Amino acid sequence: MSGPERYREIWRRKPALRAVYGDIYRRIGAHRRPGRTLEIGGGSGNLKDFAPDVVSTDIIPVPWLDAVCNAHFLPFADGSFANIVLFDVLHHLERPARFFAEAERVLEPGGRLIFCEPAITPLGGLVYRSFHHEPVDMRADPLAEGPLTPGRDPYDSNQAVPTLLTGRYRDALAAKVPTLTLVTLERFSFAAYLLSGGFRPWSLLPAFAAGPLLRVEWALRRIFGPLAALRLLAVYAKRTAPSLAGTRA
């Protein structure tokens, strides 16, 4: 059974996981503009449960997705999508700057690039380093250029990349993709995700408790997010010219 097939089966069997991820999918959906949406790294195809109209892609072919493509070389025309969505994908990309350039090209003016990824806060970093198999390297340069590695495992990753791009490297990224402006940055997710067990077989979170806990966590994100969040949600808007629009953080 492939990775996406295994995750799809776990998704089917775990209502608490569907509640936690469904809450994130709905928050992503609230930022979408009217028009076509491209999903990068569709994997187990869960976003289609909430947004059936998305064009869902991945580098690994599976029957429930719409296309196979590499995020570094998107096979779509300029300005062909109103939205590009990624969920736990950006930190797997070998050359994030190359992807951002492709996103800038493929989005129409006013389009949105929306992603949800690990947040390396003081507590979040401790949790990911201690209990997650993927590395966290805050010393990495997420804008490094160079050729793609032939045969690279698509699951290779650095969970620090999204935090670096929206933080320390924010201005450097803006210089590379001047029409993409970070307009929203939310740090959220505390206990519910951990209790759900993620895509592991177990869960400590009863399905009936997921909704109330998620609402409490979202309400507390501005107080505890910078110190304890496990997730970040970022939204970039494509301008027709470089902009200094403010960011909500």
Cα distance from N-terminal residue to C-terminal residue, the chain: 40
Q: Is residue 57 predicted with pLDDT exceeding 60?
A: yes
List the one residue out of 34, 39, 48, 41 whose CA is nearest residue 84.
39
- pLDDT per residue over 139-197, tens digit each? 999 999 999 999 999 999 999 999 999 999 999 999 999 999 999 999 999 999 999 99
- Residue 240: predicted pLDDT: 79
Give per-residue pLDDT as tens, 5-45: 888 899 999 999 999 999 999 999 999 999 999 999 998 88
Q: 230 with 124: CB under 8 angstroms?
A: yes
What is this structure's pTM? Answer: 0.94
| CA distances (Å), origin 107, targets 76, 101, 130, 192 | 10, 10, 37, 33
Q: Which amino acid is at 223?
A: I
Question: Hey, what domains does the chain have and what are their CATH numbers?
Answer: 3-238 (3.40.50.150)
SS3 label, residue 111: strand
Could you tell me the pLDDT band of residue 245, with boundaries at 50, 70 and 90? very low
* CB neighbourhood size of 209 (10 A): 13
Q: What mean pLDDT, rounded, does the chain reach?
A: 94
**Interstrand relation of 55-58 and 37-40 (parallel, antiparallel or unpaired):** parallel
pLDDT digit string (tens) for 190-216? Answer: 999 999 999 998 999 999 999 999 999
Q: What is the total residue count of the chain?
A: 249
Q: Which tens digit of pLDDT belongs to each residue from 213-239?
A: 999 999 999 999 999 999 999 999 999
Given a cut of 50, whether residue 66 has pLDDT beyond it is yes
